[in-house]
Amino acid sequence: MTDPTHSDATAAAAAPGHDRPLVVVSNRLPFRAERDASGLSLMRSTGGLVAALEPALEQRGGVWVGWPGATREEAEAAGGMVLPHTTRIRYHPVPLSAADVAQYYGGFSNSTLWPLFHYFVSRTQIDGATWRAYERVNTRFAEATAAEATEGALIWIHDYQLLRTPHHLRGLAPRSRIAFFLHIPFPAADVFRVLPWSRPLLQGMLACDLVGFHVPAYAQHFLTSAEQLLGCEVDRAAGVVRFEGREISVQAHPIGIDVALIERLAGAAPPPQRAARRVAEIIGADRLDYTKGIHERLLAVERLLERRPGYRRRVRFTQILVPSRERVAEYAQLKREIDETVGRINGRFSEPGWSPVRYLARALPLEDLVPLYRQADVALITPLRDGMNLVAKEYVMAQLEADGVLVLSEMAGAADELQEALVVNPFDIDAVADALHRALAMPEDERRARMSALRDRVRARDVHAWVAGFLGGAEEAWERGQRAVATATEVARRRLAPWLAQRPTVALFLDYDGTLAPLAPRPEDARLPDAARQALEQAARTPTLDTVIVSGRALDDLKRMVGVGGLTYVGNHGFEIEGPGLAFRHEQADRWAESLEAAAGELEALGVPGARIERKGITLAYHLREVAPDERPRAGRAAEGALRRRRLRVTFGDLVVEGRPPVDWHKGRAVLHVLVHRHGADWPARVRALYIGDDVTDEDAFRSLRGIGRSVRVATTPAAGTSAADFRLPDPDAVGRLLKWLAAGAFAGPTP
């Protein structure tokens, strides 16, 4: 794990890449859509993040990509909307419909990712429809971003709503510099894997050069997930993941606040006059959210008053509750619960002239909030889980006299840095009540010692240092990624070597077209490269290696194309097998000859220009590669119909439609047949089975071997979530290099 560098703004200005254009991408643009009599207007919103990013955008020149905050329908009803702009920053709106907002934002982002990442597993909704909406909207964000990604620009994507955007963006702009920051926790791998889409989400994030989190623990969770769920190679000490032949840096960059702003606003407010005061002030301020522990906090205040009656009439707890996600039913329910608890506590303890809880259930302008921070003797910040929590840092900086006390949940990322606070477990109501007592009774010397240490740290790591540190980290990550020479083959080799070495024999299954041989427009032109032929010849001589070529081609054709003796050949998608000590022909292989011929006749009669019919005896292929692209869908449908009418099974490959006997037999079953007949039913005790293929029909083999073997899909781009293979190699060249290593028998397992 590399620690973030907290350089100041001057150092940042001189840092490499400081003049690089910046593209910021976030769910929301920094506006609030306000509706009034004149229609819809967009107001610039403020806040620490905006205050930190806008100067960086202004300095470098750049674009902010995001949703403006009003749905497409609302904007249309209002006759359009006009985005504010400054001379150096442009805003690129990503329009979202009301349905998008409901499904992508209210659904997958806030009813699936938000609860799960905050460890509320039982609140997590698993719904394929919202996932698809999330994927769709993330694609749109990637398209909008790609349109802005000028040469050399740095793209900085924010937060959990956009975890898949880097993946789509990498596909559209492969050479771009992409960095990501997650503002919420990244959960432990065992929690994260609850999501059926955990793997594509990880792949999404791993398309970046830098993935940033608030604290090292979140980064570690991410590394563990990448290792366990995707089989990535991980270097924890360096904070690096190797994936798809790329190196991704994973770092902790704890966000800071706008220190100067908070101190200015605090300075404009009256000082607290603590000694003269009869009623001690306690403050809490949160967005309405179940993660913030507001209800539990109220119970702790109640417990204090119950157990220590001396505090009655002598303390007042102010809770500021900013409305949030009101359209989500659970939030409305939570609001009712909090309202009721406040009412109950006040009903129970209030006396003439004093109520224990002051409750402000609305947003306050920062100018009004900071004076409340300054006045408060104690801040009670007890989220059940929080990425960072900025209120804790803001309270600290508003304590200009350095004599307030911070009571802080150990479940907030901020607790990592703010160790001098009274750190509590927010679930333990008694412990929070005790900490509150300790805070209220704390001697001034201790208060000043703690608060001044906190103030120094928060000041040193303000939001400008955070931006500079993160952008510097992104720059380094990209450089590092450029130097990293690990090819996909090397990565696969390193991952496979220890596993292969655990058994004396390796059974190696290789598809032909697109795996060993580059694809060619006509099947007869797909020649085996010389290097691959030599490697196969060597493989045939290596006693610890059992090499099997698997193809959809007819067996004779396949043997002719490869032409290496001593290997096993599986033809016609597994319907015919031949090799040392093995001869197999599926019992149904010859019963469908008439149907196949009838279908072939019908396809010939169609006379689609460029289409080719390949009669393979047991199966039939209809090749569309040389058919005009806009003719292909129609020709494909016609072929499907012709084959189905003869009750044949239809499969769709890469520009090919195939018909085969309608039985449950495929490459995967054939692979298991070879393994069992050659090595015995308990072959996993003696043999490591590895399958390499590029086609959809190879997926059957990947699935059959899942858990008992390993598989590699040959594909130029990562097929997120769509392949059952364990690894990916980009092309037949990369397969050739892996094959050369395997053929030499260098994996050397224990002797039989």
Give CA–CA dist 104/112, Å, rounded: 10
Question: Using the 8-state DSSP alphabet, how is residue 166 labeled?
Answer: H
From candidates 78, 172, 269, 363, binder to ligand GDG by CB under 6 A? 363
- Alpha carbon distance 511, 494 (integer Å): 22
Query: Which residue, 388 or 714, is less far from ligand GDG as judged by CB?
Result: 388
Give the interface segment with ligand GDG, choosing from 103-111, 388-396, 459-467, 483-491 (CB under 6 A).
388-396
Q: How far is the CB of 302 from ligand GDG (least distance, A)?
A: 23
Beta strands in 369-484 (DSSP E): 378-381, 405-409, 422-424
Which among 30-38, 387-395, 618-626, 644-652 is the span making contact with ligand GDG, rule CB under 6 A? 387-395
Least distance between ligand GDG and beta carbon 179 (Å): 15
Phi, psi of 175 (to 5 degrees): -95, 5
Q: How far apart are CA 434 and CA 707, in angstroms?
A: 51
Output the CA torsion 327→329→330→332 (10° steps): 70
Cα–Cα dist 434/436, whole Å: 5
The helix/strand/coil state of 189 is: helix
Minimum CB distance to ligand GDG, residue 112 (Å): 16
**Sole window of 342-350, 384-392, 525-533, 709-717 interacting with ligand GDG (rule: CB under 6 A):** 384-392
First-to-last C-alpha distance (Å) of the chain: 42
Instruction: Tell which residue, 218, 237, 241, 217, has the closest CA to residue 228.
Output: 241
Contacts 24+ apart (CB under 8 A), 267-276: 267/400, 268/367, 268/371, 269/370, 269/371, 269/374, 269/375, 270/371, 270/374, 270/375, 271/374, 271/400, 271/401, 272/374, 272/375, 272/376, 272/377, 272/401, 272/404, 274/377, 274/401, 274/403
The pattern of x and - marking residues 40 through 59 that bind ligand GDG according to CB under 6 A reads -------xx-----------
Where in 161-220 is the site for ligand GDG (CB under 6 A)? 183-184
Residue type, 379: A
Q: For residue 468, state whether it binds ligand GDG (rule: CB under 6 A).
A: no
CB 470 within 8 A of CB 716: no
Closest CB 165 distance from ligand GDG, rounded Å: 18
Please name which of 282, 266, 270, 272 lies closest in space to residue 441, comparing C-alpha atoms. Answer: 282
- State the nearest-atom distance from the C-beta of 82 to ligand GDG, in Å: 24
Which of 302, 386 has the CB closer to ligand GDG?
Answer: 386
Of 23-31, 390-398, 482-490, 592-600, the segment contacting ligand GDG by CB under 6 A is 390-398
Q: Residues 266 to 295: which contact ligand GDG by CB under 6 A?
A: 285, 287
Look at residues 622, 615, 616, 626 and name the one whose alpha carbon lies nearest to residue 640.
622
User: What is the smallest separation between the CB atom of 383 and ligand GDG, expressed in angstroms?
Assistant: 8
Q: Which two tokens stand for residue 448?
A: 């000043």
133 vs 391 by CB, closer to ligand GDG: 391
Question: What contacts 24+ positions apart, CB below 8 Å, involve 460-463?
Answer: 460/6, 461/6, 461/254, 461/256, 461/417, 462/256, 462/257, 462/258, 462/259, 462/260, 463/48, 463/49, 463/51, 463/52, 463/255, 463/256, 463/257, 463/258, 463/259
Tell how strand 576-579 and strand 582-585 pair up: antiparallel
Q: Which of 149, 232, 255, 496 is in the footprint of ligand GDG by CB under 6 A?
A: 255
- Rounded Cα gap, residues 260 and 363, in angstroms: 22
- Nearest distance from residue 260's CB to ligand GDG, in Å? 14
Q: Does 726 bind ligand GDG (CB under 6 A)?
A: no
Asked if 390 is part of the footprint of ligand GDG (rule: CB under 6 A), the reply reads yes
Give strand pairing partners of 578.
569, 583
In the set 204, 387, 571, 636, which binds ligand GDG (CB under 6 A)?
Answer: 387
List active site positions.
511
Cβ atoms 545, 745 nearer than 8 A: yes
Give the phi and the psi of residue 484 in degrees, each rounded to 5.
-60, 120
Rule CB under 6 A: choose which of 391, 562, 567, 739 binds ligand GDG: 391
- Contact between 366 and ligand GDG (CB under 6 A)? yes
Rounded CA-CA distance 476/484 in Å is 12
- CA-to-CA distance for 532 and 551, rounded, in angstroms? 16
Q: Which is closer to ligand GDG, CB of 295 or CB of 679?
A: 295
Using CB under 6 A as the binding rule, whether residue 718 contacts ligand GDG is answered as no
405 in Cβ contact with 422 (< 8 Å)? yes
Helices (H), 579-720: 593-606, 632-645, 667-679, 699-705
Q: How far is the CB of 391 from ligand GDG (least distance, A)?
A: 4
Query: Nearer to ligand GDG by C-beta: 286 or 700?
Result: 286
Q: Applying CB under 6 A, does 388 fall inside the site for ligand GDG?
A: yes
Min separation Cβ 338 and ligand GDG, Å: 15
Using CB under 6 A as the binding rule, whether residue 328 contacts ligand GDG is answered as: no
DSSP 3-state percent helix, strand, coil across the chain (nearest 5): 45, 20, 35
CB of 331 to ligand GDG, least distance (A): 13
Does position 376 interact with ligand GDG (CB under 6 A)? The reply is: no
Q: Count Cβ atoms below 10 Å from residue 21 Cβ, excluding itself.
A: 17
What single letter denotes the amino acid at residue 118? H
Taking residues 295 to 324 in sequence order and writing x for each that binds ligand GDG by CB under 6 A, - otherwise, the string is -------------------------x-x--
- Letters for 571-610 (x = contact with ligand GDG by CB under 6 A, - = none) are ----------------------------------------
Minimum CB separation of residue 369 from ligand GDG in Å reads: 5
- Provide, rounded to whole angstroms, the least separation between the CB of residue 413 and ligand GDG: 6
Q: Does 389 bind ligand GDG (CB under 6 A)?
A: yes
Interface residue with ligand GDG, options 74, 296, 377, 386 (CB under 6 A): 386
Q: Could you tell me if 269 and 261 are in contact, meaning their C-beta atoms sit under 8 angstroms apart?
A: no
Q: How far apart are CA 445 and CA 307, in angstroms?
A: 27
Instruction: Provide, rounded to whole angstroms, the least separation between the CB of residue 201 and ligand GDG.
Output: 18
Q: How far is CA 650 from CA 520, 540, 599, in A?
A: 23, 34, 12
Number of residues that bind ligand GDG (CB under 6 A): 21
Q: Identify which of residues 256 and 552 has a Cβ nearer to ligand GDG in the complex.
A: 256
H/E run at residue 100: helix 98-100
- Can you tell me which of 74, 377, 394, 403 binds ligand GDG, judged by CB under 6 A? 394
Contacts of 28 (CB under 8 A, 6+ apart): 66, 67, 68, 69
Footprint of ligand GDG (CB under 6 A) = 47-48, 183-184, 255, 285, 287, 320, 322, 363-366, 369, 386-391, 394
